[in-house]
Structure 1
Amino acid sequence: MSPDLDRSRPIWKQIAAIVEQRIEDGTYGPGSRVPGLHELAAEFGVAVSTIQKALAHLKTLGLIRSELGLGTYVLTPEERKQQG
Protein backbone atom coordinates (compact mmCIF):
# COMPACT_ATOMS: atom_id res chain seq x y z
CA MET A 1 0.00 0.00 0.00
CA SER A 2 1.23 3.48 -0.85
CA PRO A 3 2.78 5.34 2.10
CA ASP A 4 0.49 8.29 1.29
CA LEU A 5 -2.58 6.26 2.28
CA ASP A 6 -3.88 6.17 5.84
CA ARG A 7 -5.16 2.78 7.05
CA SER A 8 -7.54 4.48 9.49
CA ARG A 9 -9.73 5.80 6.62
CA PRO A 10 -11.34 3.89 3.73
CA ILE A 11 -8.60 3.39 1.14
CA TRP A 12 -10.96 3.69 -1.85
CA LYS A 13 -12.11 7.13 -0.65
CA GLN A 14 -8.51 8.31 -0.36
CA ILE A 15 -7.69 7.04 -3.85
CA ALA A 16 -10.84 8.66 -5.24
CA ALA A 17 -9.76 11.96 -3.66
CA ILE A 18 -6.26 11.66 -5.15
CA VAL A 19 -7.60 10.92 -8.64
CA GLU A 20 -10.14 13.75 -8.28
CA GLN A 21 -7.28 16.12 -7.37
CA ARG A 22 -5.36 14.98 -10.44
CA ILE A 23 -8.41 15.77 -12.56
CA GLU A 24 -8.81 19.20 -10.96
CA ASP A 25 -5.13 20.12 -11.31
CA GLY A 26 -5.01 18.98 -14.95
CA THR A 27 -2.78 15.95 -14.49
CA TYR A 28 -5.64 14.05 -16.12
CA GLY A 29 -7.07 16.69 -18.46
CA PRO A 30 -10.56 16.85 -19.98
CA GLY A 31 -11.05 14.04 -22.47
CA SER A 32 -7.85 12.26 -21.43
CA ARG A 33 -7.66 8.63 -20.45
CA VAL A 34 -7.23 7.80 -16.77
CA PRO A 35 -4.61 5.10 -16.12
CA GLY A 36 -6.04 1.58 -16.19
CA LEU A 37 -7.24 -0.42 -13.21
CA HIS A 38 -4.11 -2.53 -12.99
CA GLU A 39 -1.83 0.47 -13.39
CA LEU A 40 -3.57 2.36 -10.59
CA ALA A 41 -3.69 -0.75 -8.41
CA ALA A 42 0.06 -1.16 -8.82
CA GLU A 43 0.70 2.54 -8.14
CA PHE A 44 -1.27 2.49 -4.88
CA GLY A 45 -0.43 -1.09 -3.90
CA VAL A 46 -4.08 -2.13 -3.57
CA ALA A 47 -6.46 -4.63 -5.14
CA VAL A 48 -8.14 -3.86 -8.46
CA SER A 49 -11.51 -4.00 -6.68
CA THR A 50 -10.44 -1.05 -4.51
CA ILE A 51 -9.64 0.97 -7.64
CA GLN A 52 -12.97 -0.04 -9.18
CA LYS A 53 -14.80 1.29 -6.12
CA ALA A 54 -12.86 4.58 -6.23
CA LEU A 55 -13.56 5.07 -9.94
CA ALA A 56 -17.24 4.16 -9.50
CA HIS A 57 -17.47 6.96 -6.95
CA LEU A 58 -15.88 9.45 -9.36
CA LYS A 59 -18.33 8.34 -12.02
CA THR A 60 -21.27 9.11 -9.71
CA LEU A 61 -19.75 12.57 -9.16
CA GLY A 62 -19.85 13.11 -12.93
CA LEU A 63 -16.08 13.41 -13.34
CA ILE A 64 -15.32 10.37 -15.49
CA ARG A 65 -16.93 7.95 -17.93
CA SER A 66 -16.02 4.39 -18.78
CA GLU A 67 -16.08 2.81 -22.21
CA LEU A 68 -16.11 -0.98 -22.16
CA GLY A 69 -12.86 -2.27 -23.58
CA LEU A 70 -11.46 1.22 -24.15
CA GLY A 71 -10.86 2.64 -20.69
CA THR A 72 -11.92 5.44 -18.40
CA TYR A 73 -11.88 9.07 -19.51
CA VAL A 74 -12.17 12.45 -17.81
CA LEU A 75 -15.36 14.20 -18.84
CA THR A 76 -14.99 17.42 -20.77
CA PRO A 77 -16.79 20.55 -19.54
CA GLU A 78 -19.37 20.01 -22.29
CA GLU A 79 -20.00 16.42 -21.17
CA ARG A 80 -20.37 17.58 -17.57
CA LYS A 81 -22.99 20.16 -18.62
CA GLN A 82 -24.94 17.47 -20.47
CA GLN A 83 -24.99 15.32 -17.35
CA GLY A 84 -25.94 18.14 -15.02
Structure 2
Amino acid sequence: MSIDRTRAMWPQIATVIVERIRNGTYPPGSKIPSVVQVANEFGVVNSTAQRAMEAVRKEGLTRSEAGMGTYVLRPDEQPPAT
Protein backbone atom coordinates (compact mmCIF):
# COMPACT_ATOMS: atom_id res chain seq x y z
CA MET A 1 0.00 0.00 0.00
CA SER A 2 1.34 3.40 -0.86
CA ILE A 3 0.75 6.35 1.42
CA ASP A 4 -1.22 9.30 0.04
CA ARG A 5 0.20 12.40 1.71
CA THR A 6 -2.83 14.45 0.64
CA ARG A 7 -5.04 12.48 3.07
CA ALA A 8 -4.89 11.94 6.83
CA MET A 9 -1.87 9.78 7.54
CA TRP A 10 -2.85 7.93 10.71
CA PRO A 11 -5.68 5.84 9.16
CA GLN A 12 -3.40 4.85 6.28
CA ILE A 13 -0.63 3.84 8.67
CA ALA A 14 -3.11 1.86 10.77
CA THR A 15 -4.22 0.04 7.63
CA VAL A 16 -0.63 -0.88 6.80
CA ILE A 17 -0.05 -2.22 10.31
CA VAL A 18 -3.30 -4.24 10.21
CA GLU A 19 -2.28 -5.68 6.82
CA ARG A 20 1.10 -6.66 8.26
CA ILE A 21 -0.61 -8.43 11.16
CA ARG A 22 -3.06 -10.24 8.89
CA ASN A 23 -0.42 -11.34 6.36
CA GLY A 24 1.92 -12.63 9.07
CA THR A 25 4.64 -10.01 8.78
CA TYR A 26 3.87 -9.42 12.47
CA PRO A 27 2.81 -12.90 13.67
CA PRO A 28 0.74 -13.57 16.81
CA GLY A 29 2.76 -12.96 19.96
CA SER A 30 5.37 -10.85 18.20
CA LYS A 31 6.41 -7.40 19.27
CA ILE A 32 5.63 -4.76 16.67
CA PRO A 33 7.65 -1.61 16.03
CA SER A 34 7.45 1.20 18.56
CA VAL A 35 5.67 4.48 17.96
CA VAL A 36 9.04 6.12 17.28
CA GLN A 37 9.97 3.41 14.77
CA VAL A 38 6.60 3.74 13.00
CA ALA A 39 6.95 7.53 12.93
CA ASN A 40 10.41 7.22 11.39
CA GLU A 41 9.31 4.62 8.83
CA PHE A 42 6.42 6.74 7.56
CA GLY A 43 8.02 10.16 8.05
CA VAL A 44 5.39 11.43 10.47
CA VAL A 45 5.43 12.92 13.96
CA ASN A 46 5.10 10.61 16.95
CA SER A 47 1.54 11.72 17.72
CA THR A 48 0.39 10.60 14.25
CA ALA A 49 2.06 7.22 14.70
CA GLN A 50 0.55 6.93 18.20
CA ARG A 51 -2.92 7.59 16.81
CA ALA A 52 -2.42 4.85 14.20
CA MET A 53 -1.20 2.37 16.82
CA GLU A 54 -4.18 3.20 19.04
CA ALA A 55 -6.55 2.54 16.14
CA VAL A 56 -4.99 -0.91 15.66
CA ARG A 57 -5.32 -1.61 19.39
CA LYS A 58 -8.98 -0.57 19.32
CA GLU A 59 -9.56 -3.14 16.56
CA GLY A 60 -8.49 -5.74 19.10
CA LEU A 61 -5.36 -6.86 17.28
CA THR A 62 -2.67 -5.73 19.72
CA ARG A 63 -2.01 -5.14 23.39
CA SER A 64 0.45 -2.75 24.95
CA GLU A 65 2.53 -3.42 28.02
CA ALA A 66 3.89 -0.32 29.74
CA GLY A 67 7.62 -0.13 29.27
CA MET A 68 7.68 -3.38 27.28
CA GLY A 69 6.08 -2.62 23.92
CA THR A 70 3.10 -3.58 21.80
CA TYR A 71 2.37 -7.19 20.90
CA VAL A 72 0.13 -8.89 18.36
CA LEU A 73 -2.67 -10.83 20.03
CA ARG A 74 -3.14 -14.51 19.25
CA PRO A 75 -6.37 -15.29 17.34
CA ASP A 76 -7.98 -16.71 20.49
CA GLU A 77 -7.30 -13.38 22.27
CA GLN A 78 -8.88 -11.28 19.53
CA PRO A 79 -12.56 -10.34 19.47
CA PRO A 80 -14.68 -12.17 16.89
CA ALA A 81 -14.65 -10.62 13.42
CA THR A 82 -17.79 -8.72 12.49
Query: Shared fold by TM > 0.5?
Result: yes
- The number of aligned residues is 79
Structure 1 alignment gaps of length 5 or more? none
1:31 aligns to what?
29
| 1:39 Cα deviation from its structure 2 partner | 1.0
Query: Percent same amino acid at aligned positions?
Result: 48
- Equivalent-residue separation in structure 2 for 1:73 and 1:55 (angstroms): 11
Secondary structure (helix, strand or coil) at the match of 2:63 reads strand
- Equivalent-residue separation in structure 2 for 1:76 and 1:47 (angstroms): 29
Structure 1 segment 66-81 matched on structure 2, within 5 A = 66-81=64-79
2:15 aligns to what?
17
Q: TM-score by structure 2 length?
A: 0.89
Q: TM-score by structure 1 length?
A: 0.87
Structure 1 segment 48-67 matched on structure 2, within 5 A = 48-67=46-65
| 1:46 Cα deviation from its structure 2 partner | 0.5
Find runs of 4+ consecutive structure 1 residues off by over 4 angstroms: none
| 1:8 Cα deviation from its structure 2 partner | 2.6
Structure 2 alignment gaps of length 5 or more? none
